[in-house]
Amino acid sequence: MQGIGGAIVETEAYTRDDPASHSFRGPTARNAAMFGPSGHAYVYRSYGIHWCFNVVCEAGSAVLVRAIEPLLGIETMARRRDGTNVRLLCAGPGRLCQALGIDRDCDGMPIDGTPMAIAAGRPKAPVVASPRIGITKAVDRKWRFCLAGSAYLSRPA
């Protein structure tokens, strides 16, 4: 199969009763996908410039995919991101979406088949929890999970 992708190395969790979550105040036009079927994508625009990719778990809960380790289609990613260092291709929500070509068209799209899919696997290194990044509420919740020692994190653990 020809495509682009890699191993997820950094995620963050957001739930319905989490003040930092978009779903905290209930369903709206923007976060509709977050209340949709599990296993679907929730894509939203951040700071008017970047896209952020989430995977819906259950109604109102989702996992933000912050970074992946590029494995497939690295050339395509590098071209989209204008020849950036491979290590930075997907190190961050905005970068990841740009490299994978994710935009609002992917909002609400199922990711258990074509064109997107996520497979379960065993982490190659310990997964460590730490405070989430870039938020102003519920900062003390350690709901950021990243692969220890990975060189592809948006920020070191």
The size of the interface with DNA (CB under 7 A), counted in residues, is 39
Q: Mind spelling out the 3-state secondary structure of the chain?
A: CCCCEEEEEEEEEECCCCCCCCCCCCCCCCCHHHHCCCCEEEEEEECCCEEEEEEEEECCEEEEEEEEEEEECHHHHHHHCCCCCHHHCCECHHHHHHHHCCCHHHCCCECECCCCECCCCCCCCCEEEECCCCCCCCCCCCCEEEECCCCCCCCCC
With CB under 7 A as the contact rule, the residue among 47, 113, 114, 120 that binds DNA is 47
| Interaction of residue 93 with DNA, rule CB under 7 A | yes
Among 52, 68, 102, 146, binds DNA (CB under 7 A): 52
Contact positions vs DNA (CB under 7 A): 12, 14, 20-23, 25, 28-31, 34, 42, 44-50, 52, 54, 62, 64, 81, 84, 88, 92-96, 132-137, 154
